[in-house]
């Protein structure tokens, strides 16, 4: 889960107009209109906001993400159907699990939901950031962040993120990364790079060049594939990489930038 700033994408015009007649229809028993809350203007904004990943588990969903209602709509709460602040991009699995105990209060789907007991990534509780509330350990498990006050939202979000499936996805992701890392043992060279002020391939002599340039190339691959905000499960991977490899996102970015500059490739 990563924090997002809704103001960065602006309100979708299709929701920014008078929808009172449509809201009244839901109050009378109609279902919300998908051509309104799943309008292209909403989809595009949510894809940009969440970088095409699920707003809870950070699995890549691309253009297939579901528009989900953080607080479920109900005829007693019809306005929730079209509230921009209430809409998120989700994967199928999270959308289903979120409806169950203990995340929805009450869990009975026939009764209107009074509360969703999960952290809302665009509006975390008590003025804390998502990162202050949730971290990950080296076993890819979500744990409470540095802030002492652990609320039910935090406890539930940790439980939600540590459910079998999302945990299995993150473990698989880590396996993919270690395949890259341990194909050749470049960890020692990475630590050397980390401890230097600047890396300059032009300074390397012939004897050391090929080993170092291949470590640098691998460092670039790790950064591009796993450690940009856009990468699936980024919030978790950055902690795991630091806990296990003692290398930060900034260390990998430095390797990536150096490699790309040296090769004349585009950097982000
Ligand atoms: Zn998900």
CA 248 to ligand 1 center in whole angstroms: 25
CA of 145 to the centre of ligand 1 (A): 20
Domain count, the chain: 2
pTM of the model: 0.93
**DSSP state letter for 71:** S
pLDDT of 225 strictly over 90 = yes
Q: Check whether residue 35 and residue 100 sit in a common domain.
A: yes
pLDDT at 125 over 90: no
pLDDT at 109 over 90: no
Range of the domain at 115: 6-162
Residue 63 within a domain: yes
Is 80 exceeded by the pLDDT of residue 184?
no
94 Cα to the center of ligand 1, angstroms: 4
Q: Is it the case that residue 185 has pLDDT exceeding 70?
A: yes
How many whole angstroms separate alpha carbon 199 and alpha carbon 261?
11
Assign residue 246 a region: left if phi > 0, alpha if psi is -120 to 50, beta otherwise? left
54 Cα–ligand 1 center, Å: 5
Strand partners, 87: 69
Other CB atoms within a 10 A radius of the CB of residue 101 amount to 10
Distance between CA 166 and CA 67 in Å, rounded?
19
* 130-148 tens-digit pLDDT: 999 999 999 999 999 877 6
206 Cα to the center of ligand 1, angstroms = 48
Q: Which helix (H) or strand (E) holds 239?
A: helix 234-245
Q: How do residues 33-72 score in pLDDT, each as one tens digit?
A: 999 999 999 999 999 999 999 999 999 999 999 999 999 9
Q: Does 27 share its domain with 141?
A: yes
Residue 30 lies in a domain: yes
Contact 19, 82 (CB under 8 A): yes
Does 1 fall in a domain? no
Measured distance CA(166)–CA(169) in Å, rounded: 5
Regarding whether 146 and 244 lie in a shared domain, the answer is no
Distance 191 CA to ligand 1 centre (A): 34
């Amino acid at each position: 889960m990563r924090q997002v700033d809704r103001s960065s994408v602006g309100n979708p015009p299709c929701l920014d107009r008078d929808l009172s007649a449509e809201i009244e229809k839901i109050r009378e028993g109609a279902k919300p209109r998908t051509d309104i809350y799943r309008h292209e203007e909403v989809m595009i904004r949510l894809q940009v906001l969440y970088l095409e990943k699920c707003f809870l588990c950070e699995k890549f969903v691309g253009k297939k993400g579901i528009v989900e209602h953080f607080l479920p709509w109900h005829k007693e709460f019809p306005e929730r159907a079209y509230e921009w602040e209430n809409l998120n991009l989700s994967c199928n699995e999270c959308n289903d699990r979120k409806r169950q105990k203990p995340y929805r209060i009450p869990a009975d789907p026939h009764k209107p939901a009074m509360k969703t007991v999960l952290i809302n990534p665009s509006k975390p509780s008590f003025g804390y950031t998502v990162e202050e509330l949730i971290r990950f350990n080296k076993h890819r498990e979500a744990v409470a962040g540095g802030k002492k006050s652990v609320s039910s939202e935090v406890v539930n979000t940790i439980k939600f993120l540590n459910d079998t499936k999302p945990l299995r996805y993150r473990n698989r992701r880590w396996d993919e990364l270690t395949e890259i890392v341990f194909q050749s043992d470049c960890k020692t060279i990475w630590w050397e790079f980390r401890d230097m002020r600047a890396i300059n391939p032009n300074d390397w002599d012939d004897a050391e060049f090929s080993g170092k340039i291949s470590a640098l190339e691998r460092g670039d691959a790790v950064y591009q594939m796993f450690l940009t905000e856009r990468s699936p499960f980024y919030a978790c991977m950055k902690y795991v990489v630091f806990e296990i490899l003692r290398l930060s996102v900034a260390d990998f970015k430095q390797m990536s930038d150096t490699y790309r500059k040296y090769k004349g490739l585009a950097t982000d």
